Every structure is written in structure tokens, then in C-alpha cells.
Structure 1
Amino acid sequence: MKLLSKHWSHRFPVELSSEQATIYFGDSGCRLTPRNGALNIEVWGEKNALPQLQDIVLDHLQRFARRGETLRASWSRDE
């Protein structure tokens, strides 16, 4: 969470605390919250852009993962 926030803070507004990080991509964004050994990821924006935003966030998280570690994501939607 911290590494990704620092990485994106060079291009986007970021709010970072010990409890969560929020990254703003114009009209969309994501919130990262560590919980019970996992990272809860919330993304928002235009409905048709959400799958791409999810892929971008997961791809960047994978770049910061431990070598050889593959991250898994399980996405759900609030309607």
C-alpha cells in the first residue's frame, strides 16, 4: 500500500495514513485498506472504465509484490 501510494504520488494526488491510502485519478480513484493479512481495494469511476482501472491497480500491485509471488484479486460491485 505504501509503495504503491508513493509510486503514484508523483503523478496523482494521494492521501496516505497508517490505516489506508486513497489515490485520485481525476474522476476515478482507488482506496487501499489492509485488513486481516489482505488488502481491500475499492475502485470508483465510470462504470465502463472500472474493469480497466481494476487491471491497472492489480498490475501495479503485482510489480511491488515479493519476487515470485502472484497476487489474486476477487472483485465485487456495489450497484
Structure 2
Amino acid sequence: MLSTEAQVATASASRYLQQLCKHWSHKFAVEFTPEKGRIPFADDRTALLEATADTLTMRIEAADAETLARMEGVVVEHLKRFSFREDLGDIRWTRAQ
């Protein structure tokens, strides 16, 4: 599995984590608390979220680079939709080696 991670500075990290998890919970077996979330999109792709007081950390694991890149876009698109009142800046993903 390949993985990528992005950290977003925001005081609303827990709220966004919960919104993302609730959004996908009608389609997937999502597990979450106010501090951690796991969204199993499929057997070969998963999003892991972690919220602290000032940071939302998003990690995506996928079987191949194409799926990883697509999932980066999907997660960021949804996050930006939920955070429309706040400018989260340019979200940059870092691929694990």
C-alpha cells in the first residue's frame, strides 16, 4: 500500500473530521470519535483522520499511485466544501517513501 499525508492548520479540526466521517458513513463502515476517524472507501483505499486542537491530519492509503492521487482530490474537495467559511490555504500532500 502507498500512503500520503496532509496537515491542515485549523481550530475546527474535530468538527471537520466529524463532518467528513458522517458524510461518508451512509456508504461505508466509518468509525470515528471527535479525535480520530477511519473511512474505508474500499479494500484497497482508506482515509485516516486525526484532529488536535489546531491541526487536522489526513492520511490516505491506497494500492496504487493513480488511486492515491484521486483520493487526495476527493478528500480535499469535500473538506473545502465543509470549510467554506474558512480559508484553509493550499493543502499539500506528502507521499510516504
Q: Normalising TM by the smaller chain, what interval?
A: 0.7 to 0.9
1:14-25 correspondence runs (5 A): 14-25=30-41
Q: CA RMSD in A?
A: 1.4
Query: How many Å apart are 1:47 and its aligned residue?
Result: 2.4
Tell me the number of residue pairs that the alignment of Structure 1 and Structure 2 aligns: 78
- For 1:39, what is the secondary structure of its paired residue? strand
5+ residue gaps, structure 1: none
Mapped partners of 1:15, 1:60: distance in 2? 18
Q: Percent identity?
A: 33
Deviation string for 1:17-73 (max 9, x for gaps)? Answer: 132001001120101111351210000012221111000000000110042x33331
SS in 2 for 1:30: strand
The two structures have a TM-score, normalised by structure 2, of 0.72
**Superposition misfits of 4+ residues, deviation over 6 angstroms:** none
1:4 alignment counterpart: 20
Any unmatched runs of 5+ in structure 2?
1-16
Establish whether residue 29 from structure 1 lines up as the match of residue 14 from structure 2. Answer: no
User: Which structure exhibits the higher relative contact order, with contacts defined as CA atoms closer than 8 Å and separated by 6 or more residues?
Assistant: 2
Residue identity in the other structure for 1:20: K
